[in-house]
Structure 1
Amino acid sequence: GYVYATRAALRRMLPRDHGTIVQVGSAVAYRGIPLQTAYSGAKHALQGWHEALRCELLHAGTHVRTTMVQLPAVNTPQFDWVLNRTTRSPRPLRPIHQPEFAARAIVHAADHPARREYWVGASTAATLMLNAVAPGLLDRYLARTGFAGQETDEPLRDWRANLWRPVDAHEDRGAHGRFDKDAATDNRHYGAADAVQGWISRHHTALAASAAAAAASAGAIARSRR
């Protein structure tokens, strides 16, 4: 879907030399998790596709831009119809965010496509940074917590998966899944951290420039005192 949709968009954007493509990724594009091997593999593939495409667009000198948002767990209907081979009903790995949180990040990325990617949510940033320095530690942590954290106590009943055919062809289930209460609880606990991470992400260029200027000033002062 990502590949075909991107190619369809490029057929119209490239002749106009204008446009932005936002690929919707996930923290699992970098950090695979148990019980989601296919999903993790697909997001890893999307990450590679995005990076290769970005290089090709830069080489071509076009003004068409592509960027990617790496999302945290989101409360969508996905968990009501994903193909499930376990005996329990699935759930997102907490902390859970509402679809509006993800939507705002995607809109921001579309408006600011110069960045190659955006990490959305404090949990995403923490996961990706820890995975970069201690992936083995995360392997062991997820081996202990990743199974129970993605299953409810509800047994599967009349489960219909949407892998081969849509299960909502005759109804609109909206953007929200059935974990509104958990998402609200997690927002109370982690909302401030998400807000800080979002602000840093949106202003990281200015912050980096300020840090570089401060370091240069400190170096100049140190040299003048010798």
Structure 2
Amino acid sequence: MVRDFRRGPLSQHGKVVVVTGASGGVGRATARAFAARGASVALLARGREGLAAAADEVQRAGGEALVVTVDMADAKAVDDAAQQVVDAFGHIDVWVNNAFAGVFAPFTEITPDEFRRVTEVTYLGYVFGTRAALHHMLPRDRGTVVQVGSALAYRGVPLQSAYCGAKHAIQGFNESLRCELLHSGSGVRTTMVQLPAVNTPQFEWVLNRMPGRARPVAPVFQPEVAARAIVHAASHGRRREYWVGGPTVATLIANAVAPGVLDRYLARTGFDSQQDQRDAGEYGGGPGNLWAPADGPHGRDFGAHGRFDDEAASGSPQDWVSRNRGRMGAGLAVAGGLGAVAAGLRRGAGRR
């Protein structure tokens, strides 16, 4: 039986949601998830093929879709995109920053222009998106900005220096902004969702200078796992951060406790674990989406999933615990109270 979220605690019925990077991957799955919960969804990205297909999925899920073609590195274009959303839907309730770009190579093999471009899309794209969202949310004194992060926002890995640097920057920027919103007593919230390795088409898009095809470090999760966490975060914006997946939790704890050990471990394993050697001899390089969308002008729709469906997990016990920790805490408190009562009764019986 399919659960109807429109009547549940995660209902987004009547809400207006903006998702950047919505043409594929996590953004695509997130747009579908919001639509299934009754939201009107504005889809922001560069790729026209992917955006058109994403809009069709949103409508089939029961939501209303608005397609806005935009490069998130262009601040003026992002402002204009936000205004288009308000003109069409009247306001913005949730803004999900998700768009990114990457280069898969050792740092010394990334050109200054490439590093700048990754930073402009992946970091400044979040800054520009957040500014555009706040411009419309602050006067209404309500709304939630969800920053889609990664375990790599805390822990850098080899071959992804530009991406890791941008994700670290987002972390610091978001913490600063959150403090400012709390200081002003604003009703606008910001939260961050730190993701594990996800089965998305990014590993076909990334500009890759390695001999093997880029791949996520196992274990890998389906984009729907990320989408569920993002929808939950949008509905519970007072919580500052969500860690999704056991590997994310393990990585962040290990990095906090023994970062030097993790440096050496990643130096030894990080190159091979991020390359798929099964078909390395036939690999000719992906289309790359650093300077232009991978699905246009004569490309194809890549969808939400990458090529790792055979190994990607569709659920995460840790994610369920994270999203339900309030109920679990109440349950543990009740269980503890019942245990204390039972112990008291036993002691009373012993005294008699």
> TM-score w.r.t. structure 2 length?
0.56
- Cα distance in 1 for residues equivalent to 2:293 and 2:327: 45
Residue of 291, 307, 310 corresponding to 1:178: 307
- Whichever of the two has the greater Rg, that structure is 2
Matched, 1:78 2:202: yes
CA–CA separation in structure 2 for the residues paired with 1:75 and 1:200? 22
Q: CA deviation at 1:130?
A: 1.1
What are the residue-to-residue correspondences of 1:1-226 with 2, within 5 Å? Answer: 1-153=125-277, 154-155=280-281, 156-170=283-297, 171-183=300-312, 187=313, 194-195=316-317, 197-205=318-326
In 2, Cα distance between equivalents of 1:13 and 1:169? 33
Aligned counterpart, 1:224: none
Q: 1:11-56: CA deviations, max 9, x gaps?
A: 0000000101100000000011111111111100010111011011
Q: For 1:125 and 1:76, how far apart are their aligned partners in 2?
A: 21
- The alpha carbon displacement at 1:206 in A equals 5.9
Shift of 1:164: 1.1
Cα distance between partner residues in 2 of 1:68 and 1:158: 32
Q: Which has the higher helix share?
A: 1
- Aligned equivalents of 1:114, 1:157: Cα separation in 2: 46
- 5+ residue gaps in structure 2? 1-124, 345-352
Deviation for aligned residue 1:97: 0.6
RMSD of aligned alpha carbons:
2.2
- Number of aligned residue pairs: 209
Structure 1 residue ranges without an equivalent (≥5)? 222-226
Alpha-carbon shift at residue 143 of structure 1 (Å): 1.2
SS, match of residue 38 in structure 1: helix
Paired with 1:202 and 1:105, the residues of 2 have a C-alpha distance of 7
In 2, the alpha carbon distance for the partners of 1:125 and 1:27 equals 8
Q: Shift of the alpha carbon at 1:158? A: 4.7
Q: 1:36 to 1:158 in 2, by over 3 A?
A: closer
Amino acid at match of 1:176: H
- 1:169 is displaced (CA, Å) by 2.3
Q: Find the residue that maps to 2:190 and give its secondary structure.
A: strand
Decide whether aligned partners of structure 1 residues 181 and 31 sit closer, same or farther in structure 2, where only a CA change above 3 A counts: same
Q: Distance in 1 between matches of 2:250 and 2:285?
A: 37
Q: How far apart are the structure 2 equivalents of 1:146 and 1:208?
A: 37
TM-score of the superposition, structure 1-length normalised? 0.85
SS of the counterpart of 2:208? coil
Identity %, equivalent residues: 64
Secondary structure in 1 matching 2:311: helix
Letter in 2 for 1:91: R
Counterpart CA distance in 1 for 2:136 and 2:181 is 14
